[in-house]
Amino acid sequence: MNRTAIMESVEATHLKSASEIPTLHIGDTIDVHYRIVEGDKERIQVFQGILISTKGRGVNRVITVRRIVANEGVERIFPVHSKRVAKIEVLRGAVVRRSKLYYLRGLTGKARRLKETRSDGAAE
């Protein structure tokens, strides 16, 4: 076995199954349920926002989610296969033509909205 095959076999034990991670597309509005440990207590906090970036593969895959709180943009980077990420839910999709939506950082108001996709795949 070569190095790459050995590394992938070791990483495979730490990957979440396909049923735990939905198919994510850039521009989707998603809920990330994240475990937070405070002392001896553990709770789940939901971070809802637009998926603006994804990078890496395998265990190193991370997603960047952006949302607006009190007219201030907040971005968070989540490792997809982390034990702290309890669940990822896709709420709605969007039609985008870019692989990274960093341009949303400079937009405000209605310009920040993305065109939604309907359930039949057409744009609204």
The per-residue pLDDT for range 17-49, each reduced to its tens digit, is 777 889 999 999 999 999 999 999 999 999 999
Tens of pLDDT, residues 105-122: 999 889 988 998 876 656
Please give the model's pTM, rounded to 2 decimal places. Answer: 0.85
3-state secondary structure of 7: helix
Domain spans of the chain? 3-110
Q: According to CATH, what is the number of the domain 3-110?
A: 2.30.30.790
Q: At 47, which amino acid appears?
A: F
Q: What pLDDT does 15 receive?
A: 83
